[in-house]
Structure 1
Amino acid sequence: MNTKKDAPAVEKTSVPSRRRLNRLSNLALQGTVELAGPDVNTRPMSDHFVVFSEDGAQLRQNGSREATLLNDAALARLAQEHGTITLDLVFAEDSCIDLSFSLPDALLPEMRRIIENEIAYRAPFAEDACFSFWIAEEQKDGTWRARAAVMLKEPVVSVLDQLAKHGLSAGVVRRATKGAPYAATPDWAGYSDSQRPSYGTKHLPAPLKMGLLGSAVFFVAAAALLVSVKLSAGQLRDEADAARALLTAQAQGMAEVRGLDTSLAQATDKLAMAGTLSALLPDGVWLDQLIVSDETVTLVGFAPSAADITGVLASLPQLSEIRFGSPVTRDNSQGLERFRIVADLTGAAG
């Protein structure tokens, strides 16, 4: 089968599976959906054919270099000698405009619509003023590419009318190129679905056709199931990853809550310690700072006797290792000593 357009890339993991699925589906459709049969390209040229070139339409005979201007007299003589025959139409040189474009992965009916729309878009002539014919070819990597020829309608219609006038008809439509010539059977050349060459599963015996189509349908269903399973597995992996991330976030949140509970408990203890010290300190003591950390308590202020403060602190079971954090200084004008006393909290290290 012969029949491609610039396609965007699809999801990385699903492209090979989707391509295999489409190829299996196209195998089942090949006998009922016609693009351009491979046997058209291999069909021999008709004994007589019409060539469109820069010199206009000419009548030629296969195997001969002689060309006759296509006119009523030449066609009448041909019909008289050979009866009602078909003549291939050959578009040579610059008699038409060549198009070539890639196609996306698609089923054959959709691929036909894509090709026809793309030709209408790319053609330099109005759609009702031109004819075209095309083939689509599968590439080695499994993708498809279309080749098309576009020509003005008026000279072609004139030739078709002349052929019909003399009981002749158009055969295969061909593009003659130096590289890779191709052929097709477009509707405008007088082909209907019933007249197109039979290929694919159409020529197979009924039992073999049913077995082949049944196998194709089975493999299409299996490929679709495989794609579905892969997508489901991917979705489950995504959901599992999201669940793990949620659990991790919840664990971190619980740890932060526990840390807040601990901090609140420690803050409560610190407030209680500050209240106890404020109640125990004798009159005449002025505290500039009372710093309660995780391990120590620091008192900074003035008192008639700094030694009296250490005695009060020593009576508290929560404190130990009571010491002066800096030398005691005396303000004789007020009769007060400035002190900085540090004490360890009992059990803080544990």
Structure 2
Amino acid sequence: MAASTRMTGFFAQTAALKGRLGASPLVAKVTGAVSILLDAFVAALEPRLGRFLDRSRRVAVVEGDGLALYEMREGRVTPRGPFDGAAPKDFSGRGLELRLPANLFLARTLRLPDAGRDYLGPILSHRLERLTPWRPDRVLYGYDVPEPAGPDGTIAVDLLATSADLVAPHLDALAGAGLMVTALGSSAAPLDAPLAIDLYRGRPGAGGASPLRRPVALAAALAFGLLIPACLAATLLADSAETEQAETGSHLVALRSRLAARSGPGGTREAALLAAKRPDASTLVLIDRLSTALPDGTVLRELDADGAKVRLVGRSDDAAALIGLLEGQGGLSAVRFAAPVIRDAERREAFDIVASRGQGPLPDRQAEAGR
């Protein structure tokens, strides 16, 4: 009982959160912008795929005290019977036109300057309080310019308006059956022709009712769902590579500093050149040989070359292969692991290798010159 009460409270809080988010002006603006972009993309894509699309229309008409459903396909009107609270299967998930009786609309024809043709929406919106008997925030309206401008420079604008309160009961009944109204107009217009004045035209996600809209939206959501983890993974890999590069650079700087300290300020230039050319004594030659021998998947974190012993610590994709690769490089011999190989979280093997370093005779100058 207690668990059921907690779940009920959780669902109530979730519903309240959805309500607050839905009422947020920012969320509404973002949703509207995304819907407009989606409609624009579908409008550009639809002409190229038009022959593969279903061009049928579905209409709900207020007749008497109820609703009647119709389907228009290739110019033919097919009655689908009265709406009894349950939608036909082929109506679900598709756009639906709602047509109300003509007596529920206010129809007027206005004469406006042709120069304001591109701003008819804002112009009519500011005049709704004077043009209609309803509150402006409860008015649904649409308009059409059926003829070109007259000799006096004005155009005839047909205005059709109704109250949202008159439409709401029918919207609720259809929504209860999972039907979404995407166009609203008068039943005075012929059913086999698209609405000349659609009161939902311009509303984000309502106009058009293209069958491409839903699959395109799902494809876009799936693409973004896959793109975000891919971007996060790429960022993490880039950060890991930068960290390894920085660590390798710091180790190289430390090795150079240690080498400079061992060389000391004394000695002649000729002696330094000879020492640099001895693979059994020169740390620089050893580092050069190791950088050539180690494969790309190996990162060397520590190198200690003290006397006759060399110690290498790092990570590799295949630590076992390093033993054979290092044997004989830079005078190294008896190459072996000083500690067990450990595989880390990235499935790379951490190794600790020690080797003996031979002390052979100094090569003569002719042999060195021949190299």
Determine if the TM-score, normalized by the shorter chain, exceeds 0.5: no
TM-score, normalising length: structure 1:
0.35
Larger radius of gyration: 1
TM-score, normalising length: structure 2:
0.33
Larger relative contact order, structure 1 or 2 (CA cutoff 8 Å, min sep 6)? 1
Kindly indicate which of the two structures has a greater share of residues assigned to helix.
Answer: 2
